Each structure stands twice: as C-alpha cells, then as structure tokens.
Structure 1
Amino acid sequence: MFHWTIRLFLVCLVGYVSTPATAAVKKYQFDIQVKNISRLCHEKPIVTVNGMFPGPTIYVREGDRLLINVTNFAQYNMSIHWHGLKQYRNGWADGPAYVTQCPVQTGQSYTYDFNVTGQRGTLWWHAHISWLRATVYGAIVIMPKQGTSYPFPQPDFEFNLLLGEWWNDDVETVVKQGNKLGLPPKTSDAHTINGKPGPLFPCPEKHTYAVEVEQGKTYLLRIINAALNDELFFAVAGHNMTVVEIDAIYTKPFSTNAVLIAPGQTTNVLLRANQAPGRYFMAARPFMDAPISVDNKTATAILQYKGIQNTVIPSLPQLPALNDSAFALNYNAKLRSLNSPIFPANVPLKVDRHLFYTIGLGVNPCPTCQNGTQLTASLNNITFVMPQTALLQAHYFNLKGVFTTDFPDRPPMPFNYTGAPLTANLQTTQSNRPRLSKIAFNSTVELVLQDTNLLSVESHPFHLHGYNFFVVGSGIGNFDPKNDPAKFNLVDPPERNTVGVPTGGWTAIRFRADNPGVWFMHCHLEVHTGWGLKTAFVVEDGPDADHSVLPPPKDLPPC
C-alpha cells in the first residue's frame, strides 16, 4: 500500500473571457495524494491529484506564465513533465527525472516556472519517473490569445477525454516483478476513459463516464492518450468526427469515423450532435498489428442526448479491428498541418545533419533475473543507461564523467532491417555512461527512425522533449535514402511532438535545433522506455545569452 502524499501548488497567469488583454494572476493549490479508488470490483490506494483520477485540468492562455510548486511527502521520488510544452531555454522545468532535473525527493519541494509561448491547444502533464504516470496525469488546455478565435467553427461546448490504463495491482510492484523475471510486466486489466472503464467490465456501477449533449450543438472533444503501453482507436457510435488539431497544432480538417492516437499524443475533434436523440457509446480499444500481448478490452463512456432516460441501452461504435494496419496508415496519411498565413508550416528545406536510428529489441544476460536473461531495447544497438546526476546539470556546470557525446549518427552495421526475423546476436551495447548526440545550435536536423525485426517488429510512438517536429515521410519496409526523400511532404506535413513509427517501417522527422539544452527522446511505451529505448540530444548554446540555457533555479533538486 502507498503511504505518501505529494502537494503541488499552482500559481498561473490566466486570461479568460472576462479578463483583460494583460493576463490576471490566478492561484491554485493541487494536492497529489493517495486515495482508495474502486475499479473492476477492486479497491486500491493510488496516487491522485486533489483526490481525483485523472488529475484536474490546467487551464492557461497562450502567453501566460506558470509557477508550479511540488512538495513531496512520498516514499518514492517524483518529477512532473509538461508534455509538449517547449520550455524554451528552460529545460529546468521540463521534468524527466535524471535528464533535466534530479527528482523531488521525500520532504523536498521544487517550483516549475515556465512561460507558455507560441502554443495553444491540448497538451497534458504526467509523472516522468518509473511507471507512476499510470495514475499521475491530467490535461493542459491552452486557450488562444485574447481576441483570437479558433481556425475552425466555434464549438458550443467542449470536454476532455483522457484515455488510460488500469491495473488491479500496484503498478510499481508489477514492474518489479517483470524486471525480476527479465520479462515484460503484466498487461493492464482495463482501459479507461476519464479514469473509468465503462459498463462492459465487472462492477460497472458508478464507473462509467457520461456527457450530455443537445441536438444540433457542436462539441470540441479534447482526446489525450495517457495509456502507458497501448496505441488506441477511439470512436463514437453513430457519429463522425472532424479532426482539427493534433499535439496542440491546428490541422487541415477532415472527417473520420474513428481516431488513432498513440501514447503521448493528443487529438482535438469536432462532433456535431446531429443523430437521433438517444444514448451512444464512446469507445477505445488498442491497435496492435504485431504478435504482442496487449490488454485488448474495450473501454466505454456514454454520449447522451438531453432528455433521454438512462434506461435506454447505448449502441456500440464499429471500431477498426485490433490489427487494422490499413486504417492506421490511411488515417495518418490524412494528417496535414493547416499551413495558413497565421499558422504556417515552417518546414526545414535544407538539412544540416542527417541522422538514422534503428529501433531494436534484444535479450541480454542477467545473472539476477530468474530466467538468466532480460529483454532490452536499443537505438543504433545502444541501450540507454540512466545516470545518477541529471544530464542538464552536468551539461550546464560542465561536470566531467557523467555522459559522452559520441552517440552514432547511424547504426554500426547496416543490415536488412525488416527482413526475416533476426534471432541471433541480439545482445545490445551497454556502457557505464549515457551516450548522447551533440547538435549545433540553430542547425536543421532530419532523423529517420527505422523499426527492425530484431526479435519482433512493433510500432513505437517516439516523443521528443523541448521541440515540435515535422513528420515529412513514413513508409513500410526499409527506408530508401535514394528514392524515399523524393516523396517527402515539405509543404504541409503534420507537426507534432510524438510520432508513431509503423510496425516494420520507418518515419522521417525534421526540426530546427533552436532550443539549447539537453532534451530527452524516447519511446512513449513505458515498457520500452524502461528497457532502454531512449536517448538525448545536447543542443549547444547560441551566440549570446539570449540564445543560451537559462541559469538553474535556486531550488533545483539535488541528487
């Protein structure tokens, strides 16, 4: 059982409809604490924010400043990541433990102090240490600047839908058991929508999220995939949705009967309540087109028209099949940046640095594991080793011996990455220190992420901290450096902070390295991150103090 509490105090400058152009100061107090929550006939203590699961939504406006003080009374270390916020020059507020900060230890406090600049839309926050984000997460809604409207029809109402996972057991214990065996931790017992699995599960009373709509009204659904390990399909029975935003970036609108969303991603859709008044299920279940064990149960919530009785049985949507790769590829191909005069797509056309990273799974010897081996993951055959000192601190203070900057730009030995299953020579390289890649300030980077058939092909959602990037290309099979770049979309590619690398395929992204600091990049499947599927970029300082890493705050946690 958990026996701990974390208090998080929030002070934010927020501009709402009634506030003037200069944002008003608003104060919030968030308590992250343990509370007994009942799901699937089980009650257990979990970490919550203000006794809520998921945690409360942070509402801000573009241009606002956030001061978030975290006080930890826990037996575990804690850090919070503000997923998708760029934190310009200010990695100290980014949150990943042992990358940009040492975690907040028991009895300690730390204030996350950052500005929300040049961003608007839906993002989210979550714990960024071990698997604690299973219950420590919530939405971030960034409203446009005063006087600025959405570039799509104004919705009448809006609501957040956070998709997650639930374990009947203590998640930290589940991870330790998996590590002891050298195997993946057990899959989740259920998926959830706003913390609730819905009536398709045992003991559904009070465990179904419902929202009431009015005939003819338009609703903005802010969808967040907070699941630890599953890409998810989402649909609403009887209703089409219009996609208008991904990862807090406006898109060219398109209609769809289902959405595909990977862990870490957000998607905003418009839904018009134009069907016969009744009750309709909103549903989410995994997408998995590889022979991997997943929790394939369907979570449901209810969209209910005003005036309809609760006794009416809802209808279920037709979700894509679990392994519907064709739908996934077709859906992702429709995503395009808005690329308007107000919201341009500034795609780097000239590339200074070409990177090619292979994604591999493997088996390494493990004398302490019951099986004598353990599953590992790697980029360019390198399994990332977490340091004991935060990498940004080591970089800023020029501490020697914490990390090296010799991460290879391409794999040490080219091979047929997606050919016949490769079962030999699966051991990956592990060094005593993290190996990072140094990037020149303001240089343009193209990174191709290539899935491989080392042990098994699988899709991988990769998240880059500190940046958005443009997804200029994607394909199945091996990336062809001679022919595939000619097919890149350099006009209106989707811009986001988390991208899925397709099973047995590749994805190419481009970004300008104009944010100095140390920035984490990792698979957002928590099981793979724990196995070492991660790395970090050291982006050098610019030519002057205004383009260099800010000094660290005085209350930066020690290691």
Structure 2
Amino acid sequence: MELWVRVFILVACLLPAVVQCKVRHYQFNVVMKNTTRLCSTKSIVTVNGKFPGPTIYAREDDTVLIRVINRVKYNVSIHWHGVRQLRTGWADGPAYITQCPIQPGHSYVYNFTITGQRGTLLWHAHILWLRATLHGALVILPKLGVPYPFPKPDHEAVVVLGEWWKSDTEAVINEALKSGLAPNVSDAHTINGHPGPVSNCPSTGGGFTLNVSPGKTYMLRLINAALNEELFFKIAGHKLTVVEVDATYVKPFKTDTVLIAPGQTTNVIVVADQGAGKYMLAASPFLDTPIVAVDNMTATATLHYSGTLASSPTTFTSTPARNATPVANNFVNSLRSLNSKKYPAKVPQKVDHSLFFTVGLGINPCPSCKAGNGSRAVASINNVTFVMPTIALLQAHVLKIKGVFTTDFPANPPFAFNYTGTPPANLATTTGTKVYKLPYNSTVQVVLQDTGIIAPENHPVHLHGFNFFAVGRGLGNFNPKTDPKNFNLIDPVERNTIGVPSGGWVAIRFLADNPGVWFMHCHLEVHTTWGLKMAFLVENGNGPNESILPPPKDLPKC
C-alpha cells in the first residue's frame, strides 16, 4: 500500500465520529523514553514515546492491523486485552502461548477483526513486567448509526490508572526471583501517567486535569493498567453512573466508588452538576489481606469546571480504607448484564465440563534463594505451577510439535483440604506445562476457589479468547450441592477478568466457540510470574469456519 494511502486511512480512522473505516492501520514503535516522575528520571519502554501509550480507536466489525516494531533491548509482545480474537489466536499476544515474542530489531503485524464487541478495552505488553509502562486504551465504538443503550454523553475521556516504580521494573522482579521473596511494591499510583501532587516533589506538578462545563455529561472510560493492585476510583462531590464493564453493557446504577482490578475496564457517566470549582479525582488501593504489602499512595487528578480560576481551592474526597471489603462487595454485587432484546445475556444453561480450580500460593525449595531461607514463593492453579515453554503453545498445537505441553491439566485439585482454613502441612506445588482440552462449542463452568495457603488474596483472573458470565460468588469453601442453587443464570455480569474474593470463590460459565490455545491467569503480575496460570486448548470444529486460521507469514520465531 502506498504511503500516502496508509496515512490517509490512519488520519481518517482517528476521526471515529465522522468516518466509518473497514480497516484501521496503526504503527507501534516500541522505544525507550526518558520520563520524570516523583522527582526522578528513568528510561522506560513506551509505544511511540508515550506513557500511557496511544489510544486505538475502532468500530465494531472493523479489521485492525497494528505493526509493532521492536526498537528496545527486550523481547516484546502485545496483548489486545478482551478482544475475542475469533479464529485469530496468532494475534492475541501472550508470549510463548500464542506467539514467540518479537525480538529486538524485528516487527510483527497483529491482524484481527472485532466481532460483536463494542466498548472499552486495553492493550498491554504480555511478557516480563513491561506492562508497567507499555499499555494504553482500546476504544471500540458501536457501528455507525447504532446508539448507546443509555443517553449519549456530551463528551468522553479515557482515564488510565496505573503504577509507577522509581526502579526499573525488570530489576525489581529479577531481584525478587533471585531472593525467593515478594517483589517491592510500586512507589506511586498514577492517573493517565501522573501521580498528582506529591509532597517534597514540586516537579511532579498537578497531574491530569479533566475540564468540564456545567450541566454537561461525560463518559469516563476507566482502565486499570496497574501491575499488581486493585483500585478504588471516586470523584469528590459527584455520583458515577456505571454503564459498562469489560466492553459489555450493564444495567446502569449509581455509586460514589468504583472498584476496578488490573485488566478490568469500567465506563461511568458523570454529570457536571456541582458548583463551579475544582474537584479531586482519586485512585487508591484495595487489598483486604493485612499481611501483604501494598503501595498506599493515592493518585489524584482534578475535575476542573470552566470559568474556575486555577488558583481556586480543590474540593477533596476521602478514599476508602485499603481493606474496605464492604465497599468493594457493594460495587461487585451491583453489576448485572443489561440482558435486553438487543444485548441478551446468553448464559449457558447446561454444562458439559464442570471444573473446580483452586488458586493460591505455595512454597517450593530453592537452594540458591538465600533471602528466602532456601525456599521461594510460588503460585498455582490446582497445585500446578505453570512452566513457560520455549516454543509457543499455539504453534506447537497447530504444527503438531511434540514435547512442548501435555493435555493432562487436572479438572480438580489433587487433594481436598479446608481451602480457606488451616493450610496443609505440605505447601509445595508440582510444576508442568499443562493445558486442559475442550471440544469446540462445549459449555464450561469453572469454579475458582481462593486458598488460604500463606494468605488469602483476591485474584483477578483473566481468560483470553472469551467473555464469560460470573454466575455465582461467595465466601468460604464452595459447596457443590447448595451453592449452585443460588446461581444467577438470568442476568449475571459478563466479563473477561473477574476477582476471586479473598477467602472465597467465584463461578464462571462460557461457551468454547473459539478454536485455539487460550491463556487463563491471575492479572496480578507477581502471581503470573510465580506460576498462577494455565491454558485451555479448544479443538477445531467442523470445516474452515470453525477452525483456527493458518499462521501468518511474519509470525515471530523463537
């Protein structure tokens, strides 16, 4: 394609309210950028020198082509978080699962079509800890002429929540793996890349500002791109109307506090109905496990009414306590699928594969881990700590390369115990590269059970390649005889990332209608690094329309 044609398409597609494009072209140059935060300057990995990275705009049914050029010293892969990737697993992005990473000096074109989806998602690096700075928004607009199922807001804004380390994040996790202990927590939270005013650091500045006009409505596309922390979000003096999560519409409800886990997105409507002035936006951590370290710094930004002097005082808001479980539960329990005629909740009513997965931590021997007294912290699903392969699982599956993985991932934990009570005497896990095989179009129920080994924690679990319905949730140990009687099979929330509550469980259902190899893992990066991950292998169906597409010619090599 001639350069001028490519530039025209790119410019046109950046005007989503005017032009409907069938194909959207983007180019991501992965480069190092010197950036100052918290009175210190460091070089970070970015896309096109931006932090957060550029927002991708597309419409439902568009084809998106993104050429990623790796100009840094690290291997790179990009995941389009929440995109269904129907039959295009080669474009999903997790390194060594659906592709080998893009090596320094090389490039790869991610090519996928957005089918049956609209709303807010995100993209991020899916290798090492590069997601800390290599992330951005993915906005999927409805088809032209198709309205939102709620009054159209006057304006929209992307709000990306994140974390910031003064140290290099790769050095942070490498030191932790060497010691066998947990990595250092971040030094600050951020809103659109800025922590807001920080004491003893005047160069930090005031942070992000959202300019509003009295009486107007604003849709905020909230994204949690943080590595390791769930976050509360609120705006002083303003109610938030929740209308969408993870690019699926929900029954609207009002709240003053949103809970959003890493990898999740939430669209809220804000009415500028207060008196002229400046109002604080705040993002603060949620963690109801007292023995786990957390970055306690609250990120702040400003909602600024037009006509208000910059020197005017800011109306502050109090943030929930970091262990405010009732606030978190109130938000989660309010979420329901819209389940309208146009946007029905197609909840699987029968289950072909009923799986019970324990998720949690463990301790394995590590003679070289002196700081850990000869042991290291690990994580697992059904007591299997996942070992990353050196050849991508999807490539091994399609090309029938033997010895890369096995298909014996257990449907249940190897032994039963009081999962949320006293841990067993043996805290060790097994290791392996195992997948669970599913026939095409089978229905699946997975109960994700937190365990109290070391400590109960909330695990935001992300499933690639599918949306799922969260049909049940509870505290304590899941009871297969009584708990399913209370499942919501009418209008449960539909998501791609779900929080397994501390000391509790969540039940999800999905239809395995997407052939390929699909990662499922905790979206707390430390737990993914420690091995809390597995993959589903969904077999081809009948004929080419139910089979994964052949690998592209520029697929990176390991």
TM range (shorter): over 0.9
Match of 2:384 among 359, 382, 385: 382
Name the structure 2 match of 1:17: 17
* Paired residues for 1:536-555 under 5 Å: 536-555=535-554
Q: Distance in 2 between matches of 1:35 and 1:74?
A: 10
Q: CA deviation at 1:10?
A: 12
Q: CA deviation at 1:313?
A: 2.0
> Secondary structure at 2:508's aligned position in 1?
strand
Q: Distance in 2 between matches of 1:429 and 1:314?
A: 53
Match of 1:179 among 177, 193, 196: 177
Q: Distance in 2 between matches of 1:217 and 1:275?
A: 11
Q: Distance in 2 between matches of 1:31 and 1:455?
A: 41
Between stretches 341-350 and 366-375, larger displacement belongs to 366-375
Name the structure 1 match of 2:4: none
Q: Distance in 2 between matches of 1:385 and 1:91?
A: 20
Contact 2:230–2:287 (Cα < 8 Å) also in 1: yes
TM-align CA RMSD: 1.5
Q: Distance in 2 between matches of 1:360 and 1:35?
A: 36
Residue by residue over 1:234-270, the C-alpha shift from the partner in whole angstroms, topping out at 9 and shown as x without a partner, is 0000000000000000000000000000000000000
Residue 155 of structure 1 pairs with residue 156 of structure 2: no
> Secondary structure at 2:386's aligned position in 1?
coil
Name the structure 2 match of 1:316: 316
> Secondary structure at 1:430's aligned position in 2?
strand
Residue 409 of structure 1 pairs with residue 411 of structure 2: yes
Name the structure 1 match of 2:398: 396
Q: Distance in 2 between matches of 1:258 and 1:73?
A: 40
Flag the 1:548–1:130 CA change in 2: closer, same or farther, 3 A: same
Q: CA deviation at 1:368?
A: 2.3
Contact 2:25–2:65 (Cα < 8 Å) also in 1: no
Flag the 1:231–1:114 CA change in 2: closer, same or farther, 3 A: same
Match of 2:38 among 40, 60, 63: 40
Contact 1:198–1:204 (Cα < 8 Å) also in 2: no
Contact 2:26–2:67 (Cα < 8 Å) also in 1: no
Q: Distance in 1 between matches of 2:112 and 2:42?
A: 35
Name the structure 1 match of 2:133: 135
Q: CA deviation at 1:280?
A: 0.4
| Contiguous gaps of at least 5 residues in structure 2 | 1-6
Q: Distance in 2 between matches of 1:165 and 1:144?
A: 30
Flag the 1:11–1:424 CA change in 2: closer, same or farther, 3 A: farther
Residue by residue over 1:390-419, the C-alpha shift from the partner in whole angstroms, topping out at 9 and shown as x without a partner, is 000000011111100001100011111111
Q: CA deviation at 1:32?
A: 2.4
Q: CA deviation at 1:31?
A: 2.5
Q: Give the aligned residue type for 1:293.
A: A
Q: If the length of structure 2 is used for normalisation, what is the TM-score?
A: 0.96
* Paired residues for 1:432-447 under 5 Å: 434-447=433-446
Q: Give the aligned residue type for 2:415.
A: M
> Secondary structure at 1:51's aligned position in 2?
coil
Q: CA deviation at 1:157?
A: 0.4
Residue by residue over 1:147-175, the C-alpha shift from the partner in whole angstroms, topping out at 9 and shown as x without a partner, is 00100111000101100000001110111
Q: Distance in 2 between matches of 1:400 and 1:475?
A: 41
Flag the 1:444–1:75 CA change in 2: closer, same or farther, 3 A: same
* Paired residues for 1:241-390 under 5 Å: 241-291=240-290, 292-370=292-370, 371=372, 372-390=374-392
Name the structure 2 match of 1:199: 197
Between stretches 205-214 and 344-353, larger displacement belongs to 205-214
The list of structure 1 runs, each at least 4 consecutive aligned residues, that deviate by more than 6 angstroms after superposition, is 9-13
Q: CA deviation at 1:319?
A: 2.2
| Contiguous gaps of at least 5 residues in structure 1 | 1-8
Contact 2:26–2:66 (Cα < 8 Å) also in 1: no
Contact 1:472–1:509 (Cα < 8 Å) also in 2: yes
Q: CA deviation at 1:201?
A: 4.4
Contact 2:23–2:65 (Cα < 8 Å) also in 1: no
Contact 1:10–1:67 (Cα < 8 Å) also in 2: no
Q: Give the aligned residue type for 2:82.
A: G
Q: CA deviation at 1:316?
A: 1.8
Q: If the length of structure 1 is used for normalisation, what is the TM-score?
A: 0.96
> Secondary structure at 1:113's aligned position in 2?
strand
Q: Give the aligned residue type for 1:365.
A: P
Q: Distance in 2 between matches of 1:330 and 1:337?
A: 16
Q: Distance in 2 between matches of 1:544 and 1:367?
A: 52
> Secondary structure at 1:441's aligned position in 2?
coil
Q: Give the aligned residue type for 1:99.
A: I
Name the structure 2 match of 1:424: 425
Q: Distance in 2 between matches of 1:201 and 1:376?
A: 36
Q: Distance in 1 between matches of 2:127 and 2:121?
A: 19
Name the structure 1 match of 2:227: 228
Q: Distance in 1 between matches of 2:448 and 2:108?
A: 35
Contact 1:10–1:69 (Cα < 8 Å) also in 2: no
Residue by residue over 1:51-97, the C-alpha shift from the partner in whole angstroms, topping out at 9 and shown as x without a partner, is 21100100111111111111212221000000000000110000000
